[in-house]
Amino acid sequence: MGQVMGHTILEMDEPEHHLYRGLVQQAFSRKAMESWERDLVVGVVDECIDAFVADKRTDLVRNLTFPFPVTVIARLLGLPRQDLPQFHRKAVELISVGFDFDRGMRASQGLYEYFCGIIEERRVNPSDDVISVLTKAELEGERLTNDEICAFLRLLLPAGAETTYRSSSNLLFGLLTNPQQLDGLRDDRSLMTQAIEEGLRWEPPLLTIMRTATRDTVVDGVEVNAGATIVVNMGSANHDEKVWDHPEEFDIFRTPKQHMAFAWGPHMCLGLHLARMETRVVLSRLLDRLPGLRLDPDADAPYITGMTFRAPPTLPVVWD
């Protein structure tokens, strides 16, 4: 990831991590989150729904859950609307680096050059977008360099767009394949928060994350040497039968407990509040605008797939 994104928060330990996180999280304040929901996210989701609402049939992945998060990121960054197709294409190429490394690296360099030009412009003419906030952020006398801002902006694509598209798709899959639970949520919106958390627990968008042992230790009876790479399976943790009753079942009515979809500790996901808010908006607007939303009975049954990132490739639906 360091090769692709640059030196980011993912690779940092204390005290560097604390300082850097303190700087970048200034762009994700509670006040900003409230204004983003009101002034941006609802509008982006409605634009997507407007394009297919009259058809009474669509693929929710292709036409909603896949495009809307990267559009939100682009607008949070204050990018010109005419740049969105190019930005989206580069974002997908960057995220697909595991399949085509050279193309991913070219996309990374292209985004670096693109962002650096915008960063320089924002330093001279700041606005209220995330890039402007990052150029002005200061903590303990330290400020972010152009390279540090570029690294964070590139990280936002897989961290802020890819995972949100997958987590919202997985939640919709769980609800659509359990229509009684979908009806329960439709009738009682107070279930929204626990429905979102159950979706994250049941099918997290990212199954695994890497950690490096900083010293010799023992984990559950297994000796781990300093410097060893550990693959932490958060998806498995979320299905631990010692913690969850019937963990393989999707159940929005279960008693909520702390899950591991956003990791834990100092590196807990910086964008978890944004992800939850976006998912709440997309699900609320679907329920508001598509009465009788259900799986398309004439389409192939959807499924969730993926060894690291997981999501349904398609979600064919109809409504009244």
Confidence (pLDDT) at 229: 93
Asked whether residue 246 is domain-assigned, the answer is no
Which runs of consecutive H residues, i.e. helices, occur in the chain? 2-5, 16-24, 30-36, 42-50, 60, 67-76, 84-95, 101-124, 130-136, 146-156, 163-176, 179-187, 192-202, 234-237, 272-289
Asked whether residue 159 is domain-assigned, the answer is yes
Q: What CATH number has the domain bearing residue 293?
A: 1.10.630.10
Confidence (pLDDT) at 156: 82
Confidence (pLDDT) at 128: 86
Q: What is the pLDDT of residues 146-204, one digit of tens each?
A: 999 999 888 887 777 888 999 999 999 999 999 999 999 999 999 999 999 999 999 99
- Letter for the amino acid at 261? A
Per the structure, the complete domain to which residue 123 belongs is given by 2-203+269-318
Asked whether residue 124 is domain-assigned, the answer is yes
Confidence (pLDDT) at 276: 94
Q: What is the pLDDT of residues 209-221, one digit of tens each?
A: 888 899 999 998 9
Confidence (pLDDT) at 120: 93
- Give the DSSP letter string of 118-130: HHHHHHHS--SSH
Measured distance CA(132)–CA(77) in Å, rounded = 8
Closest by alpha carbon to 54, among 315, 290, 294?
290
Asked whether residue 129 is domain-assigned, the answer is yes
Confidence (pLDDT) at 246: 96
Domain count within the chain: 1
Asked whether residue 260 is domain-assigned, the answer is no
Asked whether residue 49 is domain-assigned, the answer is yes
Confidence (pLDDT) at 98: 79
Confidence (pLDDT) at 197: 97
Quick one: 303 exposed, middle or buried, by C-beta within 10 A (0-12, 13-18, 19+)? Answer: exposed
Quick one: 2 exposed, middle or buried, by C-beta within 10 A (0-12, 13-18, 19+)? Answer: exposed
What residues of the chain score a pLDDT lower than 50? none
Beta-carbon-side half-sphere exposure of residue 6 (alpha carbons within 13 Å)? 18
Asked whether residue 216 is domain-assigned, the answer is no
Asked whether residue 258 is domain-assigned, the answer is no
